[in-house]
Amino acid sequence: MQKRLLGILASVAVLAAACGGATTSSAPPASVAPGQSAAPATAAPSVSDMADEQILKIDLGTEPPTLDPNKAQDSTSIAVLRALHRGLVYFDKDGKVVPALATDLPVVTDDGKTMTFTLRDATYTNGDKIVAGDFVYSIKRLLDPRTAAPYAYVMCELAGADALLGSDNGCGANPAPTEDAAIETALANLGISAPDDKTVDKRWRGIGIRIEDDVQVTRDGPEVLTHGVPTTVAEIERHMGEAA
């Protein structure tokens, strides 16, 4: 089985794109009575005619059940969170993984099992600096069984995640821990750390990757995909066969 770890890191973006969000709709064109000509279309305003403050209002249709990034699973919540948050990486208009809060794509070491991100200068809306420890806290909270995050399993390949997610989440052979002491021990051994305020290290279990134009990940070691990410069933099965 193959996974693209950069895609996993951008999983919030994937979920947002998959679930989608409510969008505004335009009214149908007004009908024209027989014998009458339609009114000429109004030209779009030029940039100089626009107000300094541009506001886009979107009808979500309902209140989001939660704005907790670790617990959101409905399309409305995800649509709002997509507008509020960015992770280390995101997707561009062509579906390519690109840096977001990271300055660049990660430096890969340890036979492809460790990814090191450097953060760009960024702040929260209240002015507080975004630091590497914030990402460590978020990932640990996501995988903490006490959080009961519905999408925690997407981080199963992170080193030590199997000890927290357990067999109930299809990650590991043993059940997830329930005792606080066992959970805290597993969290302390999780494969994510912040050596300093600008650096995030993520370690993956039994997986190697290399990064060039595109990324292919296998359990048996690094493999470079030089002709684009496979998109058809035949291409995916072929790459899986080559990695077996």
pLDDT attached to residue 216: 41
pLDDT attached to residue 5: 53
pLDDT attached to residue 6: 54
CATH class of 5-24+56-243: alpha beta
pLDDT in tens, 4-39: 455 555 543 443 333 333 344 444 444 555 555 555
pLDDT attached to residue 42: 64
Token readout for 49 is 């005619």
Alpha carbon distances (Å) from 119 to 10, 86, 89, 186:
15, 12, 11, 26
Alpha carbon distances (Å) from 81 to 11, 12, 103, 111, 226:
13, 9, 22, 34, 34
pLDDT attached to residue 27: 44
| Single-letter amino acid code for the residue at 239 | H
Give me the residues of the chain with pLDDT under 50, please: 1-4, 11-30, 213-232, 239, 243-244
pLDDT attached to residue 112: 83
pLDDT attached to residue 51: 85
pLDDT attached to residue 241: 53
Do 136 and 192 contact (CB within 8 A), yes or no?
Answer: yes
